[in-house]
A and B are shown apart, each in its own frame.
Chain A
């Protein structure tokens, strides 16, 4: 879905935060799509790309204003409205996938967020965090009301570690290498197989377990397809 034709007349270049160089809307969209695919295929919740989402939502608002100025019968209306629909689909699908993960891995995600409190790339946007907390205690209150309250106290304390639903980091994923990275530990040392180290060249495609390359996905060196 090339959006170059949209690029020039309707959109001014997007002035992003200072530290990133200004990106044109098509680039932002491209990055958002990449983030969307990564989120779709990775078993674990990835850090949120809220700047991309915010930027594209502004884009949609800007485009809608531009369209409303056009004459009713103008041909460009249907083209741009189609554009808007598709962008909105990408954003809502991205957020839906994240929401599904938050809902099924709530406790795990909240613990991860705790660990990343001080680090820069936070896991969830404030809205998602609030949703996660709200969802988590709504489930817990429900379970306590219906079952745990009626149990003798000692047995009733749910032990958090046991209950936490963890993502299956061993599930296999397809991935494409964006940047050359050397000596990636692919297989740990096991009793019958020795340690396996691999080098990734740009453009390679692999199928492998998610755990070893989890950090690479986050850093963008590798993207899931």
Chain B
């Protein structure tokens, strides 16, 4: 039990899977210089080099490393989800937006964008905060009040961070229920062992059937 509780070590630590996946999100960039024989990265041309001025959607980790250093190889534009148009949608009614479709790591990726010091940095920061504030109440209500109701419709709108928050809320609710019926003192098989046993039984039954 002790070893597997999610220690809240730095979320963007080197080994965190979420951080790696979040930094894979695409960022629109335009190349200022030509890049020799890396043409294969740009599907639209058959040219061996990347011609200066081409517009490409680069993953964030690539854009970040190219942006560093004295010579500006590329300049980065704000991804469409964080642009003015979308920001108005978020401020209008954050609860309606399906953040999962817009990229499951909306907040994490938003946080990374700020480190790029884009021109509309502050607007992005404030929109992240306001969207979360707007959605938080519904997430908490959903996780606290529904026991065995089908929640997939609400959960499907949430992004990864919100889902973690939602499941933490539900876990809290379930633990409280268990405590109330004295179930919490029940020593139970560890979840890993139980799942492992279920899989084994499934494998045996599928083999025999």
* Chain A residues packing against B (C-beta within 8 Å): 43, 93, 96-97, 99-101, 103-105, 162-168, 171
Contact = CB atoms under 8 A, between A and B. Distances in A.
A167 B3 CA distance: 15
Nearest to A101: B7
A165 B13 CA distance: 6
B3 A168 contact: no
Contacts of B11: 168
**From DSSP, what is the main secondary structure of chain B's interface residues?**
loop
Contact of A43 (B2, B3, B9, B13): B9
Nearest to B1: A96
A103 B3 contact: yes
Contacts of B1: 96
Interface string B1-32: 11101011111011100000000000000000
Contacts of B13: 165-166
A112 to B, nearest CB: 14
Contacts of B5: 100
Nearest to B14: A163
Given A96-B2, A97-B2, A99-B2, A104 B7 contact: yes
B15 A168 contact: no
Contact of B10 (A93, A97, A103, A165): A165
A99 B4 CA distance: 11
Contacts of A167: 7, 9-10
Nearest to B2: A96
B9 A165 contact: yes
Interface of B: 1-3, 5, 7-11, 13-15
**From DSSP, what is the main secondary structure of chain A's interface residues?**
helix
Given A162-B14, A163-B14, A168 B2 contact: no
Contacts of B14: 162-165
A207 to B, nearest CB: 15
A96 B4 CA distance: 11
Contacts of B10: 165-168
B8 A43 contact: yes
B3 A166 contact: no
Nearest to B4: A100
Contacts of B15: 163, 165
A164 to B, nearest CB: 8
Most chain A beta-carbon contacts within 10 A, residue among B1, B3, B7, B14? B7
Nearest to B15: A165
Nearest to A166: B10
Most chain B beta-carbon contacts within 10 A, residue among A99, A101, A103, A165? A165
A164 B9 CA distance: 11
24 contacts: A43-B8, A93-B2, A96-B1, A96-B2, A96-B3, A97-B2, A99-B2, A99-B3, A100-B5, A104-B9, A105-B9, A163-B14, A163-B15, A164-B14, A165-B9, A165-B10, A165-B13, A165-B14, A165-B15, A166-B10, A166-B13, A167-B7, A168-B9, A171-B8
